[in-house]
Amino acid sequence: MSPLPKRGILLALCSPSGAGKSTLARALLRSDTNIRPSISMTTRPPRPSEVNGKDYHFVDRAGFQRALDAGLLLEWAEVHGNLYGTPLEPVRELIETGRDVVFDIDWQGAAVIQRAYPDDYVGVFVLPPSAEHLRSRLQTRAEDAPDVIAQRLKNARDEISHWREFQHVIVNDDVDRCFARLTAVVYVERVKRLHTLVVEQFAPKLLDDIDRLVEEIAIGLELEAGTNPGP
Ligand code: 5GP
% of the chain beyond a pLDDT of 90: 67
pLDDT one-digit tens code per residue, 78-108: 988 899 999 999 999 998 888 999 999 999 9
Q: Which of 105, 108, 125, 161 to mutate to test the pocket of ligand 1 (most atoms within 8 A of CB)?
A: 105
Helix or strand run (H / E) with residue 48: none
CA distance 205 to 99: 28
Structural domains in the chain?
A: 10-193 (3.40.50.300)
pLDDT one-digit tens code per residue, 155-209: 899 999 999 999 999 999 999 999 999 999 999 998 888 877 777 888 889 999 9
Q: Please tell me the residue having the least CA distance from ligand 1 atom 13.
A: 105
Give the residue, 149 or 224, on which the prediction is more confident.
224
pLDDT one-digit tens code per residue, 137-147: 887 765 667 77
pTM assigned to the model: 0.84
104 alpha carbon to ligand 1 midpoint, in Å? Answer: 6
196 alpha carbon to ligand 1 midpoint, in Å? Answer: 32
Beta bridge partners of 57: 41
User: In terms of Cα–Cα distance, which of 4, 3, 89, 5 is closest to 39?
Assistant: 89
Please report the pLDDT score of residue 1 as a whole number.
45
Q: Which of 24, 40, 114, 161 to mutate to test the pocket of ligand 1 (most atoms within 8 A of CB)?
A: 40
Instruction: Report CA torsion sign: 211, 212, 216, 222.
Output: positive
pLDDT one-digit tens code per residue, 118-143: 999 999 999 999 989 988 888 776 56
Residues with CB under 6 A from ligand 1: 17, 40, 44, 75, 77, 79-80, 84-86, 104-106, 108-109
Please report the pLDDT score of residue 30 as a whole number.
96
